[in-house]
Amino acid sequence: MVETVFALLLIIDHEIKEHRIQPTLSTCLKGKRIAERTSKGNSVQYKCIKSKAEIEINIDGSHTIKKLILE
C-alpha cells in the first residue's frame, strides 16, 4: 500500500541507512533534534521528509516503511 508519510531519515556517508515513520512533522523534528544532540559522528545526518512510501502493516498493527518513493 502506498501512502504519504513523514519520515525521519538516518543518513551516513550520503546513503540512507534507516527510516522511521513519524505521525506528524513536529514529532519528526523533535526526534531529529534529540538524535542530533546524542549523535557523535560528523558523517551522520538526520533529515525529516514528507514523501510517498510503500507501507507494510505488521502483525501487531504498526506500520513500517518498506520502500521510499522519492520524487
The pLDDT assigned to 39 comes to 82
Are the C-beta atoms of 20 and 68 separated by less than 8 Å?
no
Q: Three-class SS of residue 61?
A: coil
Q: Which residues of the chain have pLDDT under 70?
A: 41
The pLDDT assigned to 70 comes to 82
The pLDDT assigned to 66 comes to 93
d(CA 47, CA 32): 7
The pLDDT assigned to 22 comes to 95
Q: Which three cell numbers stand for residue 65?
A: 516503511
The pLDDT assigned to 16 comes to 92
Q: Using the structure block, give the residue that is written with the C-alpha cell 551522520.
A: 44
**Phi–psi pair at 27, nearest 5 degrees:** -65, -40
- Pick from 9, 20, 11, 17: nearest CA to 43: 11
